[in-house]
Amino acid sequence: MSMEEYKKKMIDKKIEEKILKSEEDYNKGKVRKAEDVFKEWNLKYGI
């Protein structure tokens, strides 16, 4: 396996881990409405 293939595999693994974590959070109800988050960002960062 080349170094480039290895790096891509590691990136893919990290993405998969983050997706699994987000699914777990969603199933546990650890979510917020996007509208609320954007309002918070607007107040905090002006975006």
Q: Are 17 and 25 in contact (CB under 8 A)?
A: no
pLDDT of 47: 83
Q: What domain count does the chain have?
A: 1
For every residue of the chain, DSSP letters joined together read --HHHHHHHHHHHHHHHHHHHHHHHHHTT----HHHHHHHHHHHH--
Average pLDDT over residues 18-37: 96
Task: Say whether pTM exceeds 0.75.
Answer: no
Question: Which residue range(s) make up the domain with 23?
Answer: 3-45
**Residues ≥6 apart with Cβ < 8 Å to 41:** 47
Please tell me the predicted confidence (pLDDT) of residue 24.
97
